[in-house]
Amino acid sequence: QNYQSLTGTDSAFSGISNFGVSGLTVDGNSANNNAPAAKSGHGIAFVGRDFLIDTVKIQNTYRRGLASEYAAGGTFGASPYNGHIRALTINGTGEEGWKNDVSDLHAEDINVRATSLNSNAAVDAIALGPYGGIRGNNINVWSTGTGAASPPRYAISVAADGTTIN
């Protein structure tokens, strides 16, 4: 909801909340969707909090597989955690597999493969932004394995304190 106008702003309270996505496969059809408008071309993109993403596969996106954002200006939610992502698989993205700017997030069983295919290693496979409180378990990153594309700059980039990944 309103991702293009909210992303990169401190309009978190205008974003969505209390939602879930479960048991879904998103295919971005990047072979035929190769010139999307600015701020589009992602598999799933939202500004919001208090969410659950469970058993979701995202593949073949021109830009990011998952773009999750909340509190770009530092406004944090009142809930004990702002999101939970479980059993997420991302394969074949043009930019980051997952770019996260959500604080107080639980992430488990995340698998990201073949990212930064459009950007020649200028982005990270998983980029955890400047808002801390990220708790992650069983997070895996692979490059393409084919030699055809450069691997991402970093497998996991963490920009905030208070992040724990096992």
In DSSP notation, 100-138 reads: EE-SSEEEEEEEEES--TTTTS-S-SEEE-S---EEEEE
Please give the model's pTM, rounded to 2 decimal places.
0.88
Residues 6+ away with beta carbon under 8 Å from 134: 100, 103, 104, 105, 107, 128, 158, 160, 162, 163, 164, 165
pLDDT of residue 27: 97
pLDDT of residue 153: 83
pLDDT of residue 13: 63
Q: Quick count: other Cβ atoms within 10 Å of Cβ 2? A: 12
pLDDT of residue 17: 86
Q: What kind and span of H or E run contains 99?
A: strand 98-101
Residue from 15, 23, 63, 55 nearest 39 by CA: 63
Cα 161 from Cα 165, distance rounded (Å)? 12
Please report how many Cα atoms fall inside a 13 Å half-sphere around the Cα of residue 141, on the Cβ side. 19
Cα end-to-end span (Å), the chain:
32
Residue pair 58/26 in contact by the 8 Å Cβ criterion: yes
**Which pLDDT tens digits describe the chain residue by residue (166 residues)?**
888 888 877 665 678 889 999 999 999 998 888 888 888 899 999 988 889 999 999 999 999 999 998 865 445 555 556 899 999 999 999 899 999 988 889 999 999 998 888 876 678 899 998 887 889 999 999 876 555 556 778 889 998 888 898 8
pLDDT of residue 80: 56
